[in-house]
Amino acid sequence: MDVIVVGAGSLGSLVGGLLAREHAVTLVGREAQVAAIEADGLTISGAIDATVHPSAAIEPPASADLALVTVKAYDTEDAARTLASTSLDAALSLQNGLGNEATLAANLDCPVLAGTCTYGARLLEPGHVECTGVGDVVLGPRAGGTLERADAVGVAFDRAGIDTTVAADMPQRLWEKLAVNAAINPITALARVPNGALADGPAATVAHQAARETARVARAHGIDLSDRDAVAATDRVVADTAANHSSMLQDVERERRTEIDAISGAVVERASSAAAADDDSGTQASGEDVGVAAPVNGTLAALVSAWEAQRNLR
């Protein structure tokens, strides 16, 4: 399969590098990354050791079988416009937050797939990415159901040694991922702690509150995600990635803009637009637009946004 990876940062470089073991891959990224890969290839270290030699470019080529999009959520619109002139059979988002797939679909003349990825990645320097944890990929049609091209992408990922599931319930999986990200990313970024610090104590309490709020908003939008499942998913990721620095913590450490708007901010935005709210019994109330309260996510979003504003990152 001919694959373009748009966003050759940490995750894009890792997944693209793994795909390059089996497929023709072009990593589209910044000038320093492109120059390093063209000169010496891409080094993968950590939980996976490999050196691969994908193509690298600042702009995407004219055509490909698949565009894998791994840019930050706030860059999705630009990435979509960049890809609009590329002939594609499919595009797959492995990004954080909600709404990325809709942005891509509005600009691309091909099926857009949704995906989640649990690999841990950190770009150490141009041309060198560290795999901080081996995970898996789940992908499928963004609105749910089945699609032949999703199956083909899943086969291609499996052939490259990436444990991949093609799922028919991607809307629910995206909301569960959002609950996990809302629970882990802003708290680790604000407290400057690795994921494992959320295993117990005050940080775990706040993380669980954020996850439960997200599940409540999901249910108000017709997604079957229970509080218990959202908390369990959070605890599972915390345990599996205890030593990792979340992507938002990495952004804060490097004084870069975060994806808070697409994570905690997305929860707050969708809470205010919800057409129904859960009552204390856990059942869904119906009737007029009453909204759903999301004070923990709102507070986390405000604090991270304030940090960004102080550094003129917004």
Tens-place pLDDT, residues 84-109: 999 999 999 999 999 999 999 999 99
What would the pLDDT profile of 238-289 be if each residue is shown by its tens digit? 999 999 999 999 999 999 999 999 999 999 999 998 754 444 434 333 333 4
Average pLDDT across the chain, whole number: 94
Q: How far apart are CA 116 and CA 177, in angstroms?
A: 7
Of the chain, the percentage scoring pLDDT greater than 70 comes to: 95
Q: What is the pLDDT of residue 273?
A: 86
**First CA to last CA distance, the chain:** 38
Residue 72, classed as helix, strand or coil, is coil
Q: How far apart are CA 30 and CA 34, in angstroms?
A: 6
Q: pTM value?
A: 0.91
Q: What is the pLDDT of residue 281?
A: 35
Q: What is the pLDDT of residue 274?
A: 77
Q: In this structure, what token pair is assigned to residue 104? A: 């891509």
3-state secondary structure the chain: CEEEEECCCHHHHHHHHHHCCCCEEEEECCHHHHHHHHHHCEEEEECCCEEECCEEECCCCCEEEEEEECCCHHHHHHHHHHHCCCEEEEEEECCCCCCHHHHHHHHCCCCEEEEEECCEEEEEECCEEEEEECCCEEEEECCCCCCHHHHHHHHHHHHCCCCEEECCCHHHHHHHHHHHHHHHHHHHHHHCCCHHHHCCHHHHHHHHHHHHHHHHHHHHCCCCCCHHHHHHHHHHHHHHCCCCCCHHHHHHHCCCCCCHHHCHHHHHHHHHCCCCCECCCCCECCCCCCCCCCHHHHHHHHHHHHHHHHCCCC
Q: What is the pLDDT of residue 275?
A: 52
Domain locations in the chain?
2-166, 170-310
Q: What is the pLDDT of residue 190?
A: 98
Which of 4-8, 131-135, 226-230, 232-236 is least confident?
A: 131-135
Q: What is the pLDDT of residue 64?
A: 98
Q: Domain spanning 2-166 has what CATH number?
A: 3.40.50.720
∠ Cα 274 279 284 (to 5°):
55
Q: What is the pLDDT of residue 282?
A: 40
What would the pLDDT profile of 1-38 be if each residue is shown by its tens digit? 999 999 999 999 999 999 999 999 999 999 999 999 99
Q: What is the pLDDT of residue 251?
A: 96
Whether 188 and 195 have beta carbons less than 8 Å apart is answered as yes
What would the pLDDT profile of 150-183 be if each residue is shown by its tens digit? 999 999 999 999 999 999 999 999 999 999 999 9
Q: How far apart are CA 126 and CA 130, in angstroms?
A: 11
Catalytic residues: 177
- Assign a CATH topology to domain 170-310: N-(1-d-carboxylethyl)-l-norvaline Dehydrogenase; domain 2 (1.10.1040)
Q: In this structure, what token pair is assigned to residue 116? A: 């989640």
Q: Residue 150: how many CA atoms within 13 Å on its side-chain side? A: 23
Q: What is the pLDDT of residue 314?
A: 84
Q: What is the pLDDT of residue 285?
A: 37
